[in-house]
Amino acid sequence: MPAEDAFYIIVMGIMPYIAATIFTGGLIYRIAIWLKSGQKSQLANPKKSSIIERIINLFKGLILEIFFLRKVYKGSRKLWLVTWPTHIAILGMLIGHSRLVAELTPIWNAFNMTQEDIEFFSGLSGSIVGVIMITGLTILLLRRMVVKEVRAISVLDDYVLLVLLLIIGIFGMTMRLIPEAHVLISEEIRPYFVNMLAFNPWPFIASASNPYFAMHLLIVEIFMIYFPFSKLIHVINITVSAVIKGISK
Ligand code: HEM
């Protein structure tokens, strides 16, 4: 078997399952450890407020922490001005990636969009979120390398996470901006991706084989394997804390 074929088979046919297993298992393990720790005592707080109040608190906490990054805002406005757009761009990018699974037909229909409009809109919005994400990550990485006080408290994990996300973003943007790297979502990538989710990627690997896509996917897989053991687990901790606080207040 040519080495190139082996590369695609490993990255597109085997590693997605290894990455998904380690990602899920790692998350369950980290959340279980975290719930066993001191945080658990919050659950035992007397529940003085009504269930409605607690649910409102829960949503307020989640929105403020996840969508507005309240903790960062309170800590440093300057940092928030970079971190917030970067996070919103990552969220936009994740929403855009839903096209990997299905065409967003109801949305296109609601705005009477033609095929040309759809291509234009997704091309423009994807490029905007990609540029904001890459710019934000680059600023955050440079800040860690250049600002003395931040460099002093930075550990390898901080750099690894930023670099992995940055490389993923760069390969993603390459598929958009460089003609020879371009992929056809509905004809090549979606059939592979949907069948990969259904545990039958093999017949679809050849037509989706593209070195830029494969590299994008490979770094995503490395990121997924690394995520549960990294500092980024704070995303999950913030969510779980907000839920616990919201319910137990
Ligand atoms: C951590 C997860 C991921 C990140 C941070 C990420 C990031 C990006 C970025 C920034 C872009 C360019 C802008 C855009 O199209 O939104 C992109 C494009 C792309 N990504 Fe991802 N991605 C991730 C996961 C994935 C996965 C799991 C797949 C498929 C298996 C995938 C497939 C693609 C494709 C096909 C494009 C090109 C889109 C186009 O040209 O229209 N990405 N990605």
Q: pLDDT tens digits, residue range 129-145?
A: 999 999 999 999 999 99
Residue nearest to atom 24 of ligand 1 (CA): 220
- The arithmetic mean of pLDDT across residues 151-165, rounded, is 94
Which residue would you say has higher pLDDT here, 74 or 50?
74
Residue of 17, 3, 1, 7 lying closest to 205 (CA atoms): 7
Residue 2 pLDDT > 70, yes or no? yes
As its CATH architecture, domain 3-10+73-219 has Up-down Bundle (1.20)
Mean per-residue pLDDT of the chain: 88
Distance of CA 197 from the midpoint of ligand 1 (Å): 16
- Residue 146 and residue 77: Cα distance in Å, rounded? 19
- 165, burial (CB in 10 Å: exposed 0-12, middle 13-18, buried 19+): buried
Contact between 134 and 166 (Cβ < 8 Å): yes
pLDDT of residue 41: 42
What residue has token string 């989706």?
208
With pLDDT > 70 as the criterion, what percentage of the chain qualifies? 90
Binding-site residues, ligand 1, Cβ < 6 A: 93, 96-97, 100, 126, 129-130, 133, 165, 168-169, 172-173, 175-176, 183, 185, 189, 193, 213, 216-217, 220, 223
- The arithmetic mean of pLDDT across residues 231-241, rounded, is 74
pLDDT-derived band of residue 22, with 50, 70 and 90 as boundaries? very high
- Residue 20 and residue 147: Cα distance in Å, rounded? 36
Whole-structure pTM value = 0.87
Residue nearest to atom 20 of ligand 1 (CA): 172
Q: What is the pLDDT of residues 176-218, one digit of tens each?
A: 999 999 999 989 999 999 999 999 999 999 999 999 999 999 9
- The arithmetic mean of pLDDT across residues 107-127, rounded, is 89
pLDDT-derived band of residue 44, with 50, 70 and 90 as boundaries? very low
Residue nearest to atom 1 of ligand 1 (CA): 220
What is the position in ligand 1's atom list of the atom closest to the CA of 176? 40
Distance of CA 170 from the midpoint of ligand 1 (Å): 9
